[in-house]
Amino acid sequence: MRITQSMLSSNSLRNLSESYRQMGQYQNQLATGKKINKPSDDPVGAVKGMFYRSNLTEVEQYKRNLSELYLWMENSEAGIEQANNGLQRVRELVIQGKNGSLSPTDRAAVAREIEQIKNDLVQVANTKVSGRYIFHGTDTENPPAQPGNPPTAAGNLANAEIKNYNIEVSRGVTLRANVDPGKMFNDELFKAVHDVQVALESDNPKELDGLLNTLDSVMDRISSERSELGARYNRLEMIDDRISQQEIMASRVLSDTEDADIERVITDLKTQESVHRAALGVGARILQPSLLDFLR
């Protein structure tokens, strides 16, 4: 085949254009830090990158859900601790009130302290986190307790439909954030504390024996619910560890797929610049600028 000046010029220009394209690609990778800036750079890698990024976004959402669970459970634990301390103090005061050496005035003073504890229990029952009641199951808009003598619990605490406030922590796995509202701040608790107060105010220590048994039953139920909350909290920490590992692995795979190896890109760019300068030198000899160059 006969090689003409036109063919040499065309080939040289085509090769120079390709050299410019490769240098432009390397410069884009250096500027963005990504080796895939458009699907045509690596169609398979681009599809995999979309899949890995979707997984990473899903993991990040689960981590936000875990943060909400921690918030609910830790505030629930603090509320249960405060309620348990209050009931324990009521129990101590009941034992003290049974002492036959106390005068009616002394028992009335003890009753005043129990009244303050009763009011505090109502406040604990109506604890809100981010504007939502945490001791009322899924009915987070309405308070679970109403002040009064005695205070009253919401009438729907025993409704199974409002018991479980579930949050998804991984695909297809949910974890309950709240304690059972029917076992915590219910009418039995408030009535027991109120009845202790009334018995002391009326100087009637004989009723305190039965009320003491009721208090013990209430406290046992709260302790049981607290233990169940602790078990779920331990599981939450294990799920958190697993999700964190998934996030690390997803980030690493996504980085391997999309992120550019900067050292390699710089080396390739320098190499391509050297090749390009050599091609320009050769092209200057092939692409004659005027007719006089053919007459030399």
Q: Write the pLDDT tens digit of every residue in 114-123.
A: 999 999 999 9
**Mean pLDDT within 101-122:** 89
Domain-embedded: residue 29: no
State residue 274's pLDDT score.
75
Domain-embedded: residue 154: yes
pLDDT (tens digit, 9 = 90+) per residue, 31-63? 777 776 666 666 766 677 777 778 888 888 999
Tell whether 248 and 265 lie within a shared domain.
no
Query: In the structure, what pLDDT confidence band is assigned to residue 290 with cuts at 50, 70 and 90?
Result: low
Domain-embedded: residue 109: yes
DSSP output for the chain: ----HHHHHHHHHHHHHHHHHHHHHHHHHHHHSBS-SSGGG-HHHHHHHHHHHHHHHHHHHHHHHHHHHHHHHHHHHHHHHHHHHHHHHHHHHHHHHT-TT--HHHHHHHHHHHHHHHHHHHHHHT-EETTEETTSTT-TTS-SEE-SSS-EE-TTTT-GGGT--EEEEETTEEEE-S--GGGSS-HHHHHHHHHHHHHHHTT-GGGHHHHHHHHHHHHHHHHHHHHHHHHHHHHHHHHHHHHHHHHHHHHHHHHHHHB--HHHHHHHHHHHHHHHHHHHHHHHHHS--STHHHH-
Q: Is the dihedral of CA 132, 171, 256, 249 positive or negative?
A: positive
Percent of the chain predicted with pLDDT > 90: 27
- Taking a C-beta distance cutoff of 8 angstroms, is the pair 182, 125 a contact? no
Judge whether residue 12 has pLDDT over 80.
no
Domain-embedded: residue 16: no
Percent of the chain predicted with pLDDT > 70: 82
For residue 71, which of 2, 134, 143, 9 has the smallest C-alpha distance?
Answer: 134
Tell whether 141 and 270 lie within a shared domain.
no
Judge whether residue 2 has pLDDT over 60.
no
Residue span of the structural domain in which 273 resides: 261-296
Domain-embedded: residue 197: yes
Tell whether 268 and 293 lie within a shared domain.
yes
Neighbours of 86 (CB within 10 A): 18
Q: Which of 24-33, 40-49, 164-173 has the highest mean pLDDT?
A: 164-173
Query: In the structure, what pLDDT confidence band is assigned to residue 6 with cuts at 50, 70 and 90?
Result: low
**Which has more confidence, 3 or 180?**
180
Tell whether 152 and 188 lie within a shared domain.
yes
Tell whether 83 and 195 lie within a shared domain.
yes
Tell whether 281 and 169 lie within a shared domain.
no
Residue 128, both tokens: 């809100």
* 47-51, 95-99, 167-171: least confidently modelled range: 47-51
> Into how many domains does the chain fold?
2
CA–CA distances in Å: residue 257 to residues 59, 245, 250, 261: 18, 18, 11, 11
What is the CATH number for 68? 1.20.1330.10
**pTM of the full structure:** 0.73
State residue 127's pLDDT score.
92
Whole-angstrom Cα distance, residue 215 to residue 210?
A: 9
- Taking a C-beta distance cutoff of 8 angstroms, is the pair 145, 151 a contact? yes
Judge whether residue 264 has pLDDT over 90.
no
**Mean pLDDT within 78-83:** 93
Whole-angstrom Cα distance, residue 63 to residue 55?
A: 12
Domain-embedded: residue 9: no
- Half-sphere CA count of 103, side-chain side, radius 13 A: 2
State residue 25's pLDDT score.
73
- Taking a C-beta distance cutoff of 8 angstroms, is the pair 63, 77 a contact? no
Domain-embedded: residue 96: yes
Domain-embedded: residue 36: no
Tell whether 189 and 235 lie within a shared domain.
yes
